[in-house]
Amino acid sequence: MANTVKDALRRGRKTVETVVEEGRKTVESVVEESRKKVENVVEGGLDTVETVVEVGLNTVETVVVKGRRKVESAVSLGRRTVEHALLRGRTTMQAAVLHGREDVRIEQVPIPMAEAGELVVHVDAALTCGTDLKVFRRGYHARMIVPPALFGHEMAGTVVEAGQGVTDFAPGDRVVALNSAPCGKCYYCSRGQENLCDDLLFNNGAYAEFIKIPDRIVSKNTLKVPASVPLEHAALTEPLACAVHGFEDSEPREGDVVAVIGGGPLGLMILHVAALAGYETISLVKREGQVEAAKQLGATHVVQSSSIRKAIEDTRALTPNGRGVDIAIEAVGVPEAWQEAVELVRKGGTVNFFGGCPKNTNVTLDTNRLHYSDITLRATFHHTPAICRKALALISSGRFQAGAFITGRAHLYELNRVFENLMNRSSEIKTAIVP
Ligand SMILES: [Zn+2]
Ligand SMILES: [Zn+2]
């Protein structure tokens, strides 16, 4: 019995040992195979991981670079905004915004920033103008302004910011920035007729605390104002340039008698320019208040009449044998005044239709008179950079009575009231709008 048990135990141990031995082998095989698999995976995987890491790094670097740029732009923009805010104490300003017919609102808008080549100018004075009044009444200007838009175009002020690349101007400079600049490349520009440029760039926004001056106007039509000239006077450069242009375009000759129809700001300016140039002048006005202004500005004669027939008679009576004036410049912008101008000139005389009538206006003229009296017709529009410089020089000379043209002053808040007054034919010539 004892042997049987012993045998059984012995056999059992062997079995167990065999099982253990076999099991160990199986485990070792599995481990070995698995290690190979893992090594394979690791080997192949490494490439993959490295590729992923590499690609990822690039992506990350791009993102970092791009991100840095974005962050830098944001920081730069933010810094400038903050600088602006520090400089001016805020980031918004008051500005007149034209919304449509007789609808101008004073609104809070962002203070402009100067991009490359541009200027931001603090407006010291903006002047009301017949064109702005027309725009106020009509709600738009085909060539100059489409609402909603910043409004006003005659201004002078102080540079507060010069964009990258601007070398002619720096903060603190007193400047007058014109309302437009020609391209310098088109057919008309190449012929010296920049006022007719196919791509005339207009700028508006003078009725505001600050105005942005586009780079073309900075490089072509922004002028430094001499220290002796008040900025308010310098703001007259734009309308005066139109007046000088209209007068010169009429090709006056020594001894000519010049008649100017209209006692508005431009009529009076052309009259003053002609008088300063030494010509005998006749001013045709309608209202009492305009008579005094015309006399003060050098009119040799003033004809005041609301009847066109009478005005023509009275004007002719001032010329030898009633032959008529040498030059008649129309500065009202209505068909009757255009016809009147043709009736004022002598044989061989020159008429300048300076005042622009509303769109689609037609005028009937006596062809016999035009032909057999050999009358020259001109119609001067706008200004050129050279004439703008001439106009500022005339203001700076001190001979031009700039102060006589600015008959009122008002705050930006009062702009609507000012325009309503102008529409009601007040005796104001120009009002300086001070923000
Ligand atoms: Zn104007
Ligand atoms: Zn051009």
388 CA to centre of ligand 2 in angstroms? 16
The pTM of the full predicted model, rounded to 2 decimals, is 0.80
130 CA to centre of ligand 1 in angstroms? 6
The Cα diameter of the chain in Å comes to 172
List the chain pLDDT tens, one digit each, 435 residues: 455 556 655 665 666 566 556 656 665 665 566 666 555 555 555 555 555 555 555 665 655 655 666 666 666 666 666 566 656 578 999 999 999 888 899 999 999 999 999 999 999 999 999 889 988 888 877 677 788 899 999 999 999 999 999 999 999 999 999 999 999 999 999 999 999 999 999 999 999 999 999 999 999 999 999 999 999 999 999 999 999 999 999 999 999 999 999 999 999 999 999 999 999 999 999 998 899 999 999 999 999 998 999 999 999 999 999 999 999 999 999 999 999 999 999 999 999 999 999 889 999 999 999 999 999 999 999 999 999 999 999 999 999 999 999 999 999 999 999 998 888 877 789 999 999
66 CA to centre of ligand 1 in angstroms? 47
184 CA to centre of ligand 1 in angstroms? 22
C-beta separation of 237 from 228 below 8 A = no
Structure tokens belonging to residue 90: 């805020």
CA distance 424 to 38: 96
CA distance 410 to 408: 7
Structure tokens belonging to residue 326: 């040498």
69 CA to centre of ligand 2 in angstroms? 37
Name the segment(s) of the chain with CATH classification 3.90.180.10: 92-240+386-434
CATH class of 92-240+386-434: alpha beta
Structure tokens belonging to residue 77: 């923009």
Name the segment(s) of the chain with CATH classification 3.40.50.720: 251-379
Residue with tokens 């605390």: 209
127 CA to centre of ligand 1 in angstroms? 8
375 CA to centre of ligand 1 in angstroms? 29
User: Is 431 strand, coil or helix?
Assistant: strand
CA distance 113 to 285: 45
Task: Select the CATH number that applies to the domain covering 251-379 from these four: 3.40.50.720, 3.40.1410.10, 2.40.50.100, 2.40.50.140.
Answer: 3.40.50.720
Residues 6+ apart with CB under 8 A from 393: none
Residue 37 phi/psi, 5° resolution? Answer: -60, -45
